[in-house]
Structure 1
Amino acid sequence: MSRFPGRHEFGQNFLVDPVVIAGISRLVAATDGPILEIGPGDGALTQPLSSLGRPITAVEIDPRRAKRLAEHLPSHVTVLNEDILFHRLRGEVGAVVGNVPFHITTATLRWLLAAPRWRTAVLLVQWEVARRRAGIGGASLLTARVWPWFDFTVHSRVSKRAFRPVPTVDGGLLVVHRRPTPLVTDRDAYQRFVHTVFTGRGYGLREILTRAAGVPTPVAREWLRTHRVPPTALPRDLTAEQWASLWSTARRR
């Protein structure tokens, strides 16, 4: 149990379920290289991860907890009293792991997906956020913008009773892998295209593509038919591979 109660301004809901902790540890153990931990809190994950013997950088915004962790962890664990949103990765990182404070989930994901030199992320976030990021039930704009470079998978659902204090919603274990070979090479142009399509007006993709994105009607119709996408489907319904193919088609035209 935590020595200090969670602080509201830090969004602290501490992970206490040993089964969930062990599951996250196994996922990280399957990677290699240095580890970056987001918001270690009282070290529920840091302690078992330290047994791997790999270099760990634990970034904790709460100065009390950062100080206490630094005093009780082995020398290959470095504790930094920093805001993760302003942290700069140093060198290669094999795995990013963390119980992400729910109120900064989107900001943390934006920071992470813009950061270089990490390969795998194992993140505990809100259940619905995990589903949306993985494209289950419809992908978000954020996911579609970065899908060609990252693969998102929901590993499991985590009961809200696994946390103290107990939050109002369940968590979800989201695993993100950087693709060794991106599906798209021109990041800026692709992301502008995705934003145009996601925010464009029209009754379904066929109208959006022709009205907002400037794709000729015969080309849009043929792409939808080839990929078995209904004309009334929405941008959120596409997969990573379909977005890459759609961009390639639109760019040629």
Structure 2
Amino acid sequence: MAQSFAFGEYSHTQKKAAQRKGGGRTPRDRARRELSQNFLVDRHAVEQVVKAAAPAGLILEPGAGEGVLTTALASTGAHVIGYELDPLLAAKLRARTRDSSGIEIVKGDFTAARPPAKPFAVVGNIPYSITSKIVNWCLAAEHLTSATLLTQLEYARKRSGDFGRWSLVTVLSWPWFTWELLGRIERTSFRPVPSVDSAILRIDRRPDPLGVDERAYRELVELGFAGVGGSLRASLERHYRHVPQALCAAGIAPDTVVAFVHPDQWITLFRTLHR
């Protein structure tokens, strides 16, 4: 585990600025806060992410930062395109990696990029503030094979069902994607040190989708999560027949709270109601 150079929740750079000026943050510290920058500095944590990602072929990296993960991914033989919004960091990283044929640095917003027209994976220590935006981009990318992301621990636990509950995003995407929590990364592995721990969340596209009509499945799940009627059964009976039989077939008790319905049970529920 990396040694901590921070006291409280502000960086070593901020401490020096406070000593010089009696408080406040440097321009770099302000940029880090605005861009939600917490750089991965623990080599063991980097190795964990690379192992979880199993990089091969084309890799897109959102928020390349100082390039620690970028170079580690490229060392496996993958071709890495790193996106960095901070112009200073992008320029420094491009200069440092200009002789690396397996690394390309793009100054810009990853979520504004057009997804490649061939298979690719996403791997990154992503800014907490735009986690959902990056995940949505990945889910919408036609040729994405997987996304291995460092996110807040709570986010990863919610999306992977680690709390024993399932989120709307996970259930909606389940026929096409799997979600898995592959390890916890402590906050002391980053600089500046964030206030919460992180986790490795891996999203994989199923090679064989579960075979449901996307529009009809979405309508069912969104209706169930809306909570209209006071229970899952009451919500669904507003639009579907034979709901008690479908719940029974899926192994869902009539009084089950919607968040505790496993995604696989949603698939069974859908198929039963749409026979």
TM-score (norm 1): 0.91
Q: Show CA shifts across 1:222-251 (max 9, x none).
A: 222233222111222222221122122222
Bigger CA radius of gyration: 2
Q: Distance in 1 between matches of 2:124 and 2:78?
A: 16
Residue from 213, 234, 249 that aligns with 1:226:
249
Equivalent in the alignment of 2:207: 180
Shift of 1:135: 2.1
Shift of 1:38: 1.1
Residue from 85, 88, 97 that aligns with 1:61:
85
Matched, 1:104 2:123: no
Which amino acid in structure 2 is aligned with residue 12 of structure 1? Q
Q: Show CA shifts across 1:116-162 (max 9, x none).
A: 21111110001111011112321111111111110000011111111
Q: Distance in 2 between matches of 1:31 and 1:167?
A: 27
**CA root-mean-square deviation:** 1.9
- Aligned partners of 2:82 and 2:106 also within 8 Å: yes
Q: What is the total number of aligned residue pairs between the two structures?
A: 247
Q: Distance in 2 between matches of 1:250 and 1:172?
A: 37
Residue from 247, 250, 253 that aligns with 2:273:
250
Shift of 1:8: 1.4
Equivalent in the alignment of 2:23: none
Q: Distance in 1 between matches of 2:211 and 2:196?
A: 35
Matched, 1:16 2:75: no
Residue from 210, 228, 241 that aligns with 2:264:
241
Fraction of identical pairs, as percent: 36
- Aligned partners of 1:105 and 1:125 also within 8 Å: yes
Matched, 1:200 2:224: no
Shift of 1:108: 1.1
- Aligned partners of 1:156 and 1:173 also within 8 Å: yes
TM-score (norm 2): 0.84
Matched, 1:88 2:111: no
Q: Distance in 1 between matches of 2:96 and 2:259?
A: 46
Which amino acid in structure 2 is aligned with residue 142 of structure 1? V
Residue from 132, 147, 150 that aligns with 1:124:
150
Which amino acid in structure 2 is aligned with residue 44 of structure 1? V
Equivalent in the alignment of 2:184: 157
Q: Distance in 1 between matches of 2:207 and 2:64?
A: 28
Deviates more, 1:191-200 or 1:61-70: 191-200
Q: Show CA shifts across 1:50-94 (max 9, x none).
A: 212221111111111111111111122111111111111223244
Pair 46,79 (structure 1): closer, same or farther in 2 beyond 3 Å: same
Deviates more, 1:86-95 or 1:42-51: 86-95
